[in-house]
Amino acid sequence: MNVSINTAVFLHNVENGDNQIDCLKRLVGQPIDNIEVRGELFNEQTKNEELKQINLLCADNDWGYFYSIPDELFLNDHVNEKINSYIDMADKYHIDHLKISLGSLENITDQQMGQLKQLLSQAAVKPSSC
């Protein structure tokens, strides 16, 4: 059985001033396989340092590292242009999986889907959708 913890369980702590790295440190020694951090819970001024520290914490504890993107992959008639920056972030901080809501793909063309597949096939990160 795999046990995954989403930092949303620490929402009350984060709202009261803790950051996600501090919350995750409380889980060291617990039988956890994966952690999922929430993009919307980061303070933009400290986000990069937190992501770096979370990467080290995951490596030290053999945890899978998931990042929940507070955005949508498809925006009506195009693929979200920010996807490249999310993939770059995942590469930089050794994030194993990106999780993103699909959004609206009613007007997405086969060409756009092909381009997205090509981009994702070249990325080290594994995309997840919900």
For the record, the structure tokens of 3 come out as 């046990």
Q: For position 128, what pLDDT does the model report?
A: 58
DSSP per residue, 61-81:
HT-EEEEEEEEEEEETTEE-T
Query: How far is 8 from 40, CA to CA, in rounded Å?
Result: 10
| 34 close to 64: Cβ distance less than 8 angstroms | yes
Q: For position 126, what pLDDT does the model report?
A: 64
Q: What is the pLDDT along the chain (130 residues), one digit of tens a residue?
A: 789 999 999 999 999 999 999 999 999 999 999 999 999 999 999 999 999 999 999 999 999 999 999 999 988 888 889 999 999 999 999 999 999 998 887 888 888 888 888 888 888 776 555 4
**Fold for the domain defined by 4-129:** TIM Barrel (3.20.20)
Domain ranges of the chain: 4-129
Bin 116: left if φ > 0, else alpha if -120 < ψ < 50, else beta: alpha
Can you give the pTM of this predicted structure?
0.88
